[in-house]
Structure 1
Amino acid sequence: MYVVVGLGNPGKQYDKTRHNVGFDVIDILAKDNNIQVNKIKHKAIIGEGRIGTEKVILVKPQTFMNLSGQSLLDIYSFYKLDPENIIVIYDDIDLDVGKLRIRKKGSAGTHNGMRSIINNLKFDNFKRIRVGVSRPQNGQDLASFVLSKFKKEEMDSINESLQRSAYAIEAIIKEGIDVSMNKYNG
């Protein structure tokens, strides 16, 4: 069984913001695989279904970004997961809009949601997909930047990268991380 966690903040005011690309990818995966993400459980909204032959749980933590680890720890403990069957999708300001980075493991970097996950789980050997959202310009506050919506001229790139992220997750589940990395990194 795989658990796919998209990071974001709950609430309409955060819909389609840079910080919520993880939620957006979960929505695409759910739609593409006919999975209803509508159960409230483990401090999250979840949906259970299949991608290929694998059982999956799609997760949108409702703890707010900086406490995402609380929700994932609850899920990890309840389902007794193999860390290698956890996939986390989140925004990355160090990548240009439209770029993806798929990794087998790694540090949290500067991302508070990932820090929360690693601090709660006490390991970092889970798969992750970073979706580029670009950096703030001209001294703009980082928090207000990641909570902002994409510019009109960025929409084609971000929509394409969100769909590619969903395909990359499907490839991880069906064909393995190495195949997915070769197809979708960059």
Structure 2
Amino acid sequence: MYLIVGLGNPGDEYAHTRHNAGFDVVDAIADEIGVRYWKTECGALTAKGAWHDHDVVLAKPQSYMNTSGGPVKQLMNAYGVDGAHLIVVHDELDIDPGTVRAKFGGGHAGHNGLRSICDKTGTRDWFRLRIGIGRPPGRMAVADYVLSLPKREAKEDFDCAVDKGAQAVLYLIDNGLEKTQQRFN
């Protein structure tokens, strides 16, 4: 079983913002595998499905980005999932818009959602699928940028990265990290 967690903030005011890239990827995966029923458990919206021979639990923590670790830890315990079967999807400022990167382990690089997961789980050893959003233009504050809706060309890049992200997560489950990095990184 794989636990696929998309990071974001709950509420309509944050829907489809750059910071909610993880939620959007999880929704795209749900569409791809035909998941329609969502429920609230362990502080997250969850849905169960299957991809080829693997059971998957899709999750969108509802505790806001900065405290995502609590729901992730609860879900890992509830489903008996270890870091080798946890995939966290999140936005990444240091990657060009429209691109995705897969990796296993590493730090949080100042990303508060990742920091919370590291703190609550006591490990940094889990898969990450990073959705590139790029840096804010000019002197725009990072918080304003990540919480804004991408427009025009940026929206095309964002939508492309969300689609690629969903494909990359499913490919990772089937083919492992090395082949996923070769294909998507």
TM-score bracket, shorter-length normalisation: over 0.9
Show the counterpart of 1:129: 129
Show the counterpart of 1:71: 71
Decide whether aligned partners of structure 1 residues 163 and 37 sit closer, same or farther in structure 2, where only a CA change above 3 A counts: farther
- Give the TM-score normalised by the residue count of structure 2: 0.97
| SS of 1:138 mapped into structure 2 | coil
Show the counterpart of 1:43: 43
Tell me the distance in 2 between the aligned counterparts of 1:36 and 1:120.
29
Is residue 110 from structure 1 mapped to residue 110 from structure 2 by the alignment? yes
Amino acid at match of 2:108: A
Q: Are the counterparts in 2 of residues 30 and 37 from structure 1 also a CA contact under 8 Å?
A: no
Show the counterpart of 2:80: 80
Cα drift, residue 151 of structure 1: 1.9
Show the counterpart of 2:172: 172
Cα drift, residue 37 of structure 1: 4.9
Cα drift, residue 82 of structure 1: 2.0
Cα drift, residue 26 of structure 1: 0.5
After superposition, give the CA deviation of every residue in 1:95-114 in whole Å (9 maximum; x if it has no partner): 11112111011111110000
Report percent identity of matched pairs: 35
Is residue 6 from structure 1 mapped to residue 6 from structure 2 by the alignment? yes
Tell me the distance in 2 between the aligned counterparts of 1:155 and 1:148.
11
Q: Are the counterparts in 2 of residues 67 and 116 from structure 1 also a CA contact under 8 Å?
A: yes
Show the counterpart of 1:34: 34
After superposition, give the CA deviation of every residue in 1:54-100 in whole Å (9 maximum; x if it has no partner): 00000000000000001001011222212110000000111111121
Amino acid at match of 2:130: R
| SS of 1:101 mapped into structure 2 | strand
Tell me the distance in 2 between the aligned counterparts of 1:102 and 1:74.
24
Tell me the distance in 2 between the aligned counterparts of 1:141 and 1:37.
37
Aligned pairs, how many? 185
Alignment RMSD (CA, Å) = 0.9
Cα drift, residue 177 of structure 1: 1.6
After superposition, give the CA deviation of every residue in 1:127-159 in whole Å (9 maximum; x if it has no partner): 001111111122211111110010211122221
Structure 2 unpaired stretches of 5+: none
Amino acid at match of 2:153: E
Show the counterpart of 2:140: 140
Tell me the distance in 2 between the aligned counterparts of 1:164 and 1:14.
21
- Give the TM-score normalised by the residue count of structure 1: 0.97
Q: Are the counterparts in 2 of residues 36 and 48 from structure 1 also a CA contact under 8 Å?
A: no
Tell me the distance in 2 between the aligned counterparts of 1:78 and 1:39.
14
